[in-house]
Amino acid sequence: MNPKPKILVTEALGPQGLAYLQQYADVDAHYLLDPALLPELMDSYDAVIIRSAHRLTRELLTGHPRLRVVARAGAGVDNVDLTAATELGLAVINAPGANAIAAAEHTFGLLLSVLRNIQKGDRHVREGGWDRQAFLGRELYSKSIGIIGLGRVGREVSRIAKGFGMSVIAYDPYISDDIFRTHGVIRVQTLEELLPQSEVLTIHTPKTGPRLGYQQLATLPQGAVVINAARGGLIDEDALNLLLEQNHLYGVGMDVFSKEPPPSEFKLFNHPNVVLTPHLGGSTHEALAEVGVMTARGVIEALNGNTPPNVVNVPIPPLENAEFQALDKAAGVVGLIFSRAVTPAPGSLILTLSGQIPSSASLWLRQRVLAAVLSERVDDRVNTVNALLKAEAQGLHLLIEEKFNANQPAQMGLRWEGDPDSTTEVWLTNHLPHLKKVRGIPLDLPWPDQALMTWHHDAPGVVGKVGTLVGEHGINIANLHLGRRVQGQDALMVLTLDAEVPAALKQELEDIADIRQVFVFP
């Protein structure tokens, strides 16, 4: 039995996330580990989980053979060197969208505080005042809100805005028209089109999102409100201050800053219609619990050799979890069988994706299949994260043929270019992989957890000899499947077994005269 993996948690993760980890791993958890102590601990763990107080640099990530997974319990991964992690084959996990509702609600908390003078009114009452006219506010109803970034948080913002009776427009060049239609959001193609229409402007992009300076912000309508609860530095803070002084903007709400905490000379401190909070967007009990659980699940999945949907350094498509897991397993099966059962050849590999496979899954499936193939060819770590880099080092190229058809089951085929007889093919039936072809020979079986495959001469007595030897080793045969092209020539046999195949049995099978090769799975 393999020992449990060891996981280091450097900052508070929440009881739900820790409880999940502790079901599957030995966990050393800290409320806040001194960053100076982290380097000496990296060698001792299979996974390390951080939040915001630590940085995982190239220097820190390098030279730890045991380490396989690093995670940031939060939406961004700004404090993880993704390039280094990818080169080292480290899966990087985060928790995108886990705090989407919290961040969207905080956006409106800032917005309402600005428009309705909530903070100023609170101070006024505490000081004994009751001047209602001095704090006359503005309504959200019927106003237009412009959203930059229609990801998870942006979509939640649009949902809440519609509840206030606002008209919603958005700019996001990376999101499909279907998403805009589904959420009832008006799409614009440029920021130049969005800004003049936005009585309220809010941004919800990663740190790579557009930077808004004075020239862009000055095109907002007179009396607009600007909210930034996404990433510090996306909106020029000096430009906001200048536009407030010019009475072009009505107010500003900020939860994030280019420097955190902002320095004492921060200009926006001096403006009365600015509401500032200390990076609270994702800080709710519910969001922290969800972040912890989502991070924990991703880490355990990655440690188990699977591809979790929240791995950052793999091009994961937007799929429902059941479809994602089914395609992930099928890609692993087709790559593994091909790598073991098909003789290596010069030239490129051809991956055929057909049937009900979304086109958005192609790049990910390419890496997933390559990782399975290369795991049999290289000695050092190879996985979906670094498969392209390892393939390039091996001089191995994989090309994709796409034949998508929503009326057919999902199908994956892998072959050497110019050699149809090398084809291995797997179909998905009810989200389970079915082996349809190996070395070009037709088969039809649900792929099992334990299997024995023989490549043999189609001669009388071979099947019986194999069955006898398997039985002598005390292993039960659950199913047997045969395939051949022409009687008396090459044939394949796949046995579904109830136990692992010992090395001695494999050797005895290889000693049978008509058997050319024996393959054991997993």
Tell me: the pLDDT tens digits for 39-76? 999 999 999 999 988 999 999 999 999 999 999 998 77
Plot region of 175 (φ>0 → left; ψ -120 to 50 → alpha; else → beta): beta
From 139, 193, 245, 260, the catalytic residue = 260
In the chain the domains, ranked by start, together with CATH numbers, are: 6-96+287-313 (3.40.50.720), 100-276 (3.40.50.720), 324-521 (3.30.70.260)
| SS3 category, 216 | helix
Q: For residue 456, indicate whether it is catalytic.
A: no
Q: For residue 260, indicate whether it is catalytic.
A: yes
From 231, 368, 434, 439, the catalytic residue = 231
Q: What is the pLDDT tens value at each position of the chain, 522 positions in all? A: 568 999 999 998 989 999 999 999 999 999 999 999 999 999 999 999 999 889 999 999 999 999 999 999 987 788 999 999 999 999 999 998 888 999 999 999 999 999 999 999 999 999 999 999 999 999 999 999 999 999 889 999 999 999 999 999 999 998 888 789 989 999 999 999 999 999 999 999 988 889 999 999 999 999 999 999 999 999 999 999 999 999 999 999 999 999 999 999 999 999 999 999 999 998 899 998 999 999 999 999 999 988 888 999 999 887 888 899 999 999 999 999 999 999 988 889 999 999 999 888 999 999 999 999 998 888 788 899 999 999 999 899 999 999 888 889 999 999 999 999 999 999 999 999 999 999 999 999 999 999 999 999 999 999 999 999 999 999 999 999 999 988 989 999 999 999 999 999 999 999 999 999 999 998
From 138, 279, 457, 481, the catalytic residue = 279
Cβ neighbours of residue 355 closer than 8 Å, sequence gap 6 or more: 403, 404, 405, 408, 409, 410, 411, 427, 428
Cis peptide before 522 (omega within 30 of 0): yes
| SS3 category, 512 | coil
What is the tens place of the pLDDT at every residue in 411-423?
A: 999 999 999 999 9
> Whole-model pTM?
0.73
Helical ranges in 342-450 per DSSP H: 362-374, 387-394
Q: Please check whether residue 229 is in contact with residue 107, taking contact to mean a CB–CB distance below 8 angstroms.
A: yes
What is the tens place of the pLDDT at every residue in 458-480?
A: 999 999 999 999 999 999 999 99
Q: For residue 231, indicate whether it is catalytic.
A: yes
